[in-house]
């Protein structure tokens, strides 16, 4: 503990409020005796490439992984709760962050605080690291004097959204695995096995059934460089055209609307968007941010344009005095449970509490849906592979049965 006191005093004066009991709470933040603070001369961080070329990106381009950001806010909350001054706490964190670029940025933020800036302004310099929701929450915490609890809420929000995103990605991976296995097995048989049977049938002059002729033609196609090049080129062109179309407002609206209608996955993605919306809104409301302002910040964090348009419409109607629940209900996009629970919250004064319950409900719904999907995909893999192999085998053996009957006659 003496090391923390000695080092902080050497850099920024006395470290007020740090008692011996604080060492347990700060256990997750290891003191590093030999490494100077980030952003200071003599820093041991490798921010320079060969020949001294700087590798630190500009503040507007710096990106940080969600798990690193979550750990940062967790540790910052602990530091604030122990009474350590904010700038000194950030300096301590910068010395113990393994990501050199992020550590340097945290050191720069600490320097901005020492120069008189508030934390929200210092964080806003890094817009891809500290998104508007984070900056808005920090600003509310500064005004309300509850910065430590707000920082902890930010960490919880990042953790919950990362968990939901991981579950959605996991649900999308299963069909991809099935498709990959099916294509691999099919191509393996079409390239390695079917051509041998084709040569044998040609030598025997057998009259082939339609399914066998189809397999032979497909085998020739997948082994033809021209066909393969055409398919790859077509995929590249289609991907380019889709990206250009999706970049337009009408294209994104049409695609995002269609995505929500995909069987099985559409409802899952809708639940993810709703859970993310409710969780973020609850966090902002609990920090004391007005509902309309909270929706304005939340809307920018949503990924589906159809849901975003619903929130934008609700903001416009709420500014004219209409209840948020009624505005969302009139759009008929979100599940009816959402405006119904919001209405109860508006009438009872428990709006943020109802949002928390909605976020928890849909998070559990997503988890249950993903688990069911995983169990359903296990036999699906077997059935798909068996279907492909069985079809190819039948196509290859049907002519052989005809040949055997011809030889007997």
pLDDT of 21 over the 50 cut: no
* Mean pLDDT for the stretch of residues 108-135: 88
Cβ–Cβ under 8 Å, residues 211 and 219: no
As a whole number of angstroms, the distance between CA 355 and CA 336 comes to: 14
pLDDT in tens, 29-70: 444 433 444 444 344 444 444 444 347 778 888 888 888 888
Note whether 2-38+57-130 and 161-409 share their fold: yes
Task: Give the fold, CATH level 3, of 2-38+57-130.
Answer: Receptor-associated Protein (1.20.81)
The domain 161-409 belongs to what CATH superfamily? Type II secretion system (T2SS), domain F (1.20.81.30)
pLDDT of 308 over the 70 cut: yes
Distant-in-sequence contacts of 187-196, Cβ < 8 A, 24+ apart: 187/222, 189/388, 189/389, 189/392, 190/215, 190/218, 190/219, 190/222, 190/223, 190/392, 191/219, 191/222, 191/223, 193/392, 193/396, 194/218, 194/219, 194/392, 194/396, 195/219, 195/223
**Which DSSP symbol is given to 48?**
B
pLDDT at residue 326 in the model: 92
Cβ–Cβ under 8 Å, residues 65 and 102: no
pLDDT in tens, 153-172: 888 888 888 888 888 887 77
pLDDT at residue 24 in the model: 37
Q: What is the mean pLDDT of the chain?
A: 79
* Mean pLDDT for the stretch of residues 214-231: 86
pLDDT at residue 225 in the model: 86
pLDDT band, very low/low/confident/very high, at 402 (cuts 50, 70, 90): low
pLDDT at residue 183 in the model: 84
> Which among 93, 95, 154 has a CA at the least distance from the CA of 120?
154
pLDDT in tens, 199-213: 777 776 667 778 888
Cβ–Cβ under 8 Å, residues 402 and 394: no
Tell me the sheet residues that pair with 54. 48
pLDDT in tens, 330-379: 999 999 999 999 999 999 988 989 999 999 999 898 888 888 877 777 78
pTM of the predicted structure, to 2 decimals? 0.68
For the chain, which residues make up each domain, given as ranges? 2-38+57-130, 161-409
């Amino acid at each position: 503990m003496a090391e923390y006191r000695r080092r902080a005093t050497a850099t920024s004066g006395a470290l007020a409020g740090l008692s011996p009991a604080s060492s347990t709470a700060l256990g997750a933040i290891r003191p590093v005796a030999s490494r100077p603070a980030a952003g200071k001369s003599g820093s041991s961080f490798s921010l320079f490439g060969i020949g001294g070329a700087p590798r630190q990106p500009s503040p507007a381009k710096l990106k940080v992984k969600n798990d690193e950001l979550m750990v940062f806010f967790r540790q910052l909350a602990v530091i604030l709760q122990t009474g350590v001054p904010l700038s000194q706490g950030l300096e301590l964190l910068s010395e113990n962050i393994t990501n050199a670029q992020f550590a340097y940025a945290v050191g720069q933020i600490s320097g901005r605080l020492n120069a008189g800036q508030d934390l929200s302004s210092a964080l806003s310099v890094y817009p891809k690291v500290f998104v508007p929701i984070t900056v808005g929450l920090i600003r509310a915490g500064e005004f309300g004097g509850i910065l430590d609890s707000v920082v902890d809420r930010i960490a919880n929000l990042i953790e919950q959204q990362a968990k939901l995103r991981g579950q959605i990605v996991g649900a999308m991976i299963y069909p991809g695995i099935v498709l990959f296995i099916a294509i691999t097995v099919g191509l393996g048989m079409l390239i390695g096995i079917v051509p041998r049977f084709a040569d044998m049938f040609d030598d025997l002059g057998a009259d082939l059934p339609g399914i066998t002729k189809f397999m032979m033609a497909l085998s020739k196609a997948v082994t033809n460089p021209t066909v393969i090049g055409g398919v790859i080129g077509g995929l590249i062109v289609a991907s380019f055209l889709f990206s250009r179309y999706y970049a337009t407002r009408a294209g994104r609206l049409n695609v995002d609307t269609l995505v929500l209608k995909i069987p099985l996955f559409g409802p899952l993605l809708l639940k993810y968007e709703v859970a993310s919306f409710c969780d973020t809104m609850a966090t902002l409301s609990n920090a004391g941010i007005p509902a309309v302002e909270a929706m304005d910040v939340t809307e920018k964090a949503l990924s589906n344009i159809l849901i975003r348009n619903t929130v934008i419409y609700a903001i416009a109607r709420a500014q004219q005095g209409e209840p948020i629940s009624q505005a969302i209900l009139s759009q008929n996009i979100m599940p009816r449970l959402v405006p119904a629970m919001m209405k109860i919250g508006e009438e009872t004064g428990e709006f943020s509490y109802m949002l928390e319950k909605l976020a928890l409900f849909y998070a559990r719904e997503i988890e249950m849906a993903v688990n069911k999907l995983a169990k359903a995909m296990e036999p699906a893999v077997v059935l798909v592979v068996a279907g492909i192999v069985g079809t190819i085998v039948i196509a290859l053996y049907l002519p052989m049965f005809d040949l055997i009957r011809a030889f007997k006659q």
